[in-house]
Amino acid sequence: RALKVSSFQDIWLKCVTHIKISKPRDDVCHRCERLRNKILDAVTEEKKLLAISDIQEHIADAKKEREFYRSRKESALKEIENRED
C-alpha cells in the first residue's frame, strides 16, 4: 500500500529527526561557503571584486572537475557494456 506524501513526512519527522535534507542553496562545499562569506564580509569594493573573482575561479574549477568525472564515468560504463557483449 502506498503512503501519501504527508504520511511519509510525518513518519520521517518522528523517526529520523537527525537526518536533514539540505536545500540546494545550503548544499555547497566548504570552500564555496567560505568564499561566499568573504564576499559578504568585504568592506571595500576592491576586496569584494577580488572575492567575486575567487569564487568565480572556484566555480569554473568545480565545473571542470564535474565534467572530467562525468566523462570518466561514461567511459567506464561503455567499457562495462562492451565486456558484457
- The span from the CA of 81 to the CA of 77, in Å, is 6
Let me know: does 21 contact 8? Beta carbons within 8 Å.
no
> What pTM does this model have?
0.61
Residue-wise pLDDT for 43-57, tens only, equals 999 999 999 999 999
Look at residue 85 in the predicted model and tell me its pLDDT. 67
Pick from 69, 64, 60: which is nearest to 32 by CA?
Answer: 60
Look at residue 24 in the predicted model and tell me its pLDDT. 66
E-only strand ranges, the chain: none
Let me know: does 77 contact 57? Beta carbons within 8 Å.
no
